Structure 1
Amino acid sequence: MLSKSLLTFSLITLSYIGSVAVLSTLTTGCDLIKQDKSLSTKKAEKIVNKWKASRSGTIEIAGVRENPDNTAVATLQVSNLIVKTNMLGTISEQNFSGPGEATFSRYTDGSWALTGLVFGNNLFDSFFVKDLNIKDD
């Protein structure tokens, strides 16, 4: 008799715990808790590589700094990247190696988008890629 009562009590307990878990998942929006809204180096690299997909060379992310205004800046190190430039209507390709920065914006759903890239050290020999909207998956 004791073992039948213990078995019944165990089943009731398991059923209760399972229903509490399901209810808490439904009411707290479990997917929002699991979603990491910060911009990791790995995620930034994935988004930058979407832009770089049709270009030769490598882009490595040295680090990411998030800002309070829902933006982020990633420090880049670039090797042998072929960049098309448009100087006064003349389009040319240049091979670039050196430092760079990628800028990102965070949307209200927590996703990130690459909004711009800068390659180079100073204004006179830098390359700017603006008005991007390349999102993460």
Structure 2
Amino acid sequence: WEVVELESNVSVGNAMVKELKIENLSFSTNLSPSNILLSSSAFQYVKNIWELLDKFALLSSGGGATHILLTRIPLQSKTHTFITLQNALNQYYLPLYIFNRDEFIGFFTSRGYRLVDEWKDPFDSSMIPFHRDISVYQYSGLCFEKV
């Protein structure tokens, strides 16, 4: 397993791996090609997520992951993908993508993946003040498979 994380978490993770003498786990700040891409509640925080995925050839050039499993993704169908601010624990604000469902799924299908499964996550939501029509009341999970 390779875990891609923030730099501060990478140093903590690798220290734990070393201390526990785990041989099949590493932490890195760089995305590298793999057979399975698993992401939980991360894509919406990554600046230029589409360029990042293409840059590391996970989705392009006929190679890449055979399966992509994404959980806790804010999807909506009322407007195009947009960026808003998320109030994190009433302490600070984070830029957050709210993805258009068709645009998001279309990105993967246009690169040779098919949507295998989709489900709702009843625990996560993004409420946009004064814009309930484009708020996300339940995040989604998606599973893609290389065709």
TM-score range, shorter chain: under 0.3
Q: Which has the larger radius of gyration?
A: 1
Provide TM-score, normalisation by structure 1. Answer: 0.25
Query: Could you say which structure has the higher strand fraction?
Result: 1
**Does 1 or 2 have the higher relative contact order (CA < 8 Å, sep 6+)?**
2
Provide TM-score, normalisation by structure 2. Answer: 0.24
